[in-house]
Chain A
């Protein structure tokens, strides 16, 4: 038997799993708030209680929203990404400089999280991956022959930036952090450039790659048609 969380009520209404607790939390946060064990327990308790129902399907709404972040409580961004008088047009140079500038903040955040980090899906370090990503842009190339490397390399780079931007203790507005990543950093601009280049390809399978590079909110539009098993790009 199953019980669990639903983040999109309309989807659960349609598919009718036997027991499901709808929560109003942001996508990616099914238990509501990081580091708040009491709140997480209330969510789990409500979902476990559904196991005692005698008939179903059961779709119940959790009565609480995720605790709000007060605008003044989030620590300021540790790095200024403004680049007046930028002296290089090279993506590789600018990305390398940005990753180096963020490194002490990434390390600080990692220590604060007792060593926990999401970086490391790719076996190469962020400095090496960002150099390769920058060179591809400078040489007007797409990583067509090594998509698994590209996917994991950009996942690692995004995790590196998010962890550096949230290095200090405090409650962060995750939407504000995303805004900083996508609107202010050179990495955000680089990934949007890749997005544009994949979106302009004639091959539908290459166009589909665009949607795993940037979120819809970063480009304020739908990022491509829905995937099916037959349309998914092959990986080597």
Chain B
């Protein structure tokens, strides 16, 4: 459905404005071990958090931790963009944050394990550079958690 040719002109223009250049020189990390031994974390830009956490503000470069020990069905969404479907996420948290699917992959030994903590940003209203400091902070936390790889989901 998100083929630009299928969208109205105003929608196409909005999405093409986001055609930004690469953030810096190319970065490439080769697979350090078989996928079946990787420790994987989920990171999303869907504006997810638990009700007790602070909501995301209109434009907000911070992130919220999502502990794997908590019930992901309790996650809510305070994303500033209103231009994407939320009814599917209301139906199934895995549509955006596929935690149950990754638990199944860990149980099947398709991956090694899941990180203890996953993370959500809210991807709207700011240029990528605004997220640099908080992304670096999150990367440090992922290293402490011994995550080898991150699976990224947008909305």
Contact = CB atoms under 8 A, between A and B. Distances in A.
A213 B127 contact: no
A166 B87 contact: yes
A64 to B, nearest CB: 13
B127 A228 contact: yes
A26 B124 CA distance: 17
Contacts of A177: 87
Interface residues of A, number: 84
Interface residues of B, number: 77
A11 B15 contact: yes
Given A3-B152, A118-B89, A48 B110 contact: yes
B86 A6 contact: no
A35 B77 CA distance: 18
Interface in A113-155: 113-118, 120-121, 147-148, 151-152, 155
Given A7-B154, A8-B15, A40-B101, A232 B125 contact: yes
18 contacts: A4-B152, A15-B22, A15-B128, A24-B1, A27-B83, A29-B85, A29-B96, A30-B95, A116-B90, A117-B90, A118-B76, A118-B77, A121-B76, A151-B58, A217-B11, A226-B17, A227-B124, A229-B127
B153 interface: yes
B59 interface: yes
Contacts of B11: 216-217
B89 A28 contact: yes
Interface in B73-105: 73-74, 76-78, 80-96, 98, 100-102, 104-105
Nearest to A114: B73
A151 to B, nearest CB: 7
B62 interface: no
A3 B30 CA distance: 12
Interface string A158-186: 11001100100000101001100000000
B99 to A, nearest CB: 11
A212 B126 contact: no
Contact of B88 (A11, A29, A115): A29
A116 B28 CA distance: 39
Given A172-B87, A213-B82, A227-B126, A48 B35 contact: yes
Interface string B136-152: 00000000000011111
Interface in B7-29: 8, 10-11, 13-23, 26-29
Nearest to B61: A229
B76 A10 contact: no
A193 B78 CA distance: 22
B13 A222 contact: yes
A102 interface: no
A188 B26 CA distance: 45
Given A13-B19, A31-B98, A114-B73, 20 more contacts: A1-B32, A2-B150, A14-B19, A15-B21, A17-B152, A24-B1, A27-B2, A28-B89, A28-B96, A30-B96, A33-B95, A35-B92, A37-B104, A41-B104, A44-B98, A51-B149, A151-B80, A212-B82, A220-B8, A221-B10
A98 to B, nearest CB: 18
